[in-house]
């Protein structure tokens, strides 16, 4: 009987320990979240969205150039990365097979784990050096390299879920294979594909390391794609490590805007994924 009591005691003890661990995990994460919301909300203003950063010593200013820069970088990176990811996935799911496809799948998984700063170094060597200068274009390419494996793998998973009978029905009606793939297969997997795209955008919108020596950042408005451009994560970084209270406030506001954007994207992605599962 004592043996049983001991076992039950141990069970309760371990249950308690696991609950405590869960709490220990959640507390710092929640603290971070609360800090971002509190510090961000108290210093955000209309200026934040309309002004560019002021020189040190002057109060006020905003991150308008960073927001526009980030939007531009994300749009360009999507234009480069999404087609490669989607059509690469079409190859793997529809036409591929055998060892070579396995190798592509494997390298996509490995590519997703490569530190993002290395992506930046490669973009530097391939674009910044030959073009003789930091540029928005190089930054967008570095971000595109991060998007490709995410979009590719999620799209492939979604295409595999499309029933073969749908493809066969379309082909039997005399529709060419390429139209079948675009209009039937990809079309029916659209929701899932969108989920992957949203997740990829959420991921790159906060990336800082690959932009450090590609897009570089810019105190002012960038005028051309071949010039350095401001980006929100870069601004948050340089403001956070600077010793000025005013800049810290801007950094917190930037963090709040960025986190709101990412949460919106991930929640939309999750919602799309869930509504897809129901069908």
Contacts (CB under 8 A) with other proteins, residues 80-99: 83-85, 87-92, 94-96
Backbone angles phi, psi at 81, to 5 degrees: -85, -40
Q: Contact between 147 and other proteins (CB under 8 A)?
A: no
Least Å distance, CB 146 to other proteins, is 11
Least Å distance, CB 79 to other proteins, is 14
With a CB cutoff of 8 Å and minimum separation 6, the contacts of 45 are 62
Which one of 45-53, 57-65, 66-74, 171-179 is the stretch in contact with other proteins (CB under 8 A)?
171-179
Q: Contact between 230 and other proteins (CB under 8 A)?
A: no
Q: Say if CB 121 and CB 55 are below 8 A apart.
A: no
Q: Contact between 266 and other proteins (CB under 8 A)?
A: yes
Among 125, 131, 161, 172, binds other proteins (CB under 8 A): 125
Window 33-72: residues binding other proteins (CB under 8 A): 33, 35-36
**Rounded Cα distance, 29 and 148, in Å:** 29
Least Å distance, CB 206 to other proteins, is 2
Among 44, 138, 142, 152, binds other proteins (CB under 8 A): 152
216: β partners: 229
Q: Contact between 259 and other proteins (CB under 8 A)?
A: yes
**Rounded Cα distance, 103 and 106, in Å:** 5
**Rounded Cα distance, 37 and 181, in Å:** 45
229: β partners: 216
Among 44, 72, 77, 108, binds other proteins (CB under 8 A): 108
Q: Say if CB 124 and CB 138 are below 8 A apart.
A: yes
Among 121, 157, 188, 225, binds other proteins (CB under 8 A): 121
Backbone angles phi, psi at 154, to 5 degrees: -70, -40
Q: Contact between 29 and other proteins (CB under 8 A)?
A: yes
Dihedral sign (CA 75, 261, 43, 56): negative
Among 57, 113, 164, 278, binds other proteins (CB under 8 A): 113
Window 187-216: residues binding other proteins (CB under 8 A): 202-203, 205-209, 212-213, 216
Residue among 81, 53, 52 at smallest CA distance from 139: 81
């Amino acid at each position: 009987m004592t043996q049983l009591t001991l076992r039950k005691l141990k069970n309760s003890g371990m249950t308690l320990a696991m609950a405590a661990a869960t709490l220990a995990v959640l507390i710092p994460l929640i603290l971070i979240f609360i800090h971002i919301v509190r510090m961000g909300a108290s210093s955000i203003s209309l200026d934040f969205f309309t002004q560019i950063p002021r020189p040190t010593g002057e109060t006020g200013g905003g991150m308008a150039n960073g927001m526009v820069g980030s939007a531009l970088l994300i749009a360009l990176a999507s234009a480069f990365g999404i087609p490669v990811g989607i059509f690469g996935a079409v190859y793997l799911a529809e036409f591929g097979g055998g060892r070579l496809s396995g190798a592509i799948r494997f390298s996509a998984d490995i590519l997703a784990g490569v530190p993002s700063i290395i992506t930046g170094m490669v973009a530097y060597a391939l674009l910044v050096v030959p073009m003789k200068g930091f540029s928005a274009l190089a930054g967008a390419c570095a971000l595109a390299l991060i998007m490709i494996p995410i979009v590719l793998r999620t799209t492939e998973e979604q295409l595999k879920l499309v029933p073969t009978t749908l493809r066969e029905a379309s082909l039997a009606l005399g529709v060419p294979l390429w139209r079948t793939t675009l209009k039937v297969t990809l079309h029916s997997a659209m929701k899932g594909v969108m989920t992957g795209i949203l997740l990829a955008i959420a991921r790159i919108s906060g990336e800082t390391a690959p932009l450090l020596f590609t897009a570089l950042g810019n105190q002012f408005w960038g005028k051309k794609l071949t010039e350095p451009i401001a980006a929100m994560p870069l601004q948050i970084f340089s403001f956070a490590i600077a010793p000025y209270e005013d800049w810290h406030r801007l950094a917190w506001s930037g963090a709040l805007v960025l986190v709101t954007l990412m949460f919106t994207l991930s929640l939309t992605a999750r919602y799309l994924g869930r509504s897809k599962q129901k069908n």
